[in-house]
Amino acid sequence: MKTTTRAIKYFLIVASKDHVRKGIELSIAQACHGKVAPLKRMKAGDRVVYYSSKIKMEESGKANSCQMFTAIGTVKSDDKPYQVVMSEDFKPWRVNVEFEKNVKELSVHSVLDQLEFITNKKNWGMAFRFGFKEISESDFLVIENGMLN
């Protein structure tokens, strides 16, 4: 019987910095307000990076602006999404992630010109509008190197 090994994939998730911090505490990833579809694309060993456009989800304005890559990690071996009940109306899906420790946040502006997934450098924020996307290994490594060094 032939077994195939799937190549590692690299994912970008957009979430406010306060939500990313909670995810790090719980060693979990959530995407797109708790939707399951994005998480079903992730498998054990896949890498994930979080981008935070703002500090707190409920606030707006320049004082709440973040524009940083805020966390980086690896999907754990128990890679199946699972649902939790936060309230009667909110039952988000999650996947377990082991986050890198001792990383520094990285300004998107410092790597903007090096990232292939940002095709329009003038309107770069459009690249983050869907909240979840697969990115290339080279883009992931640019971000990872900036966060770990």
For 111, the enclosing helix (H) or strand (E) is helix 108-111
Per residue in 32-84, pLDDT tens? 888 888 899 999 999 999 999 988 877 666 777 899 999 999 999 776 898 88
User: How many domains does the chain contain in total?
Assistant: 1
| CA separation for the pair 8, 137 (Å, rounded) | 9
| Predicted pLDDT of residue 68 | 96
Any domain includes 1:
no
Q: Give the CATH number, domain containing residue 129.
A: 3.10.590.10
Any domain includes 2:
no
| Predicted pLDDT of residue 47 | 97
Q: Write out the two tokens for 99.
A: 């986050």
Residues near 61 by Cβ (< 8 Å), separated by ≥ 6?
none
Q: Write out the two tokens for 35.
A: 């939707």
pLDDT surpassing 70 at residue 10: yes
Any domain includes 45:
yes
**Structural domain boundaries enclosing 120:** 10-148
| CA separation for the pair 102, 100 (Å, rounded) | 7
pLDDT surpassing 70 at residue 27: yes
Task: Find the distance separating the first CA and the last CA of the chain, reported in whole Å.
Answer: 43
3-state class (DSSP) for residue 108: helix
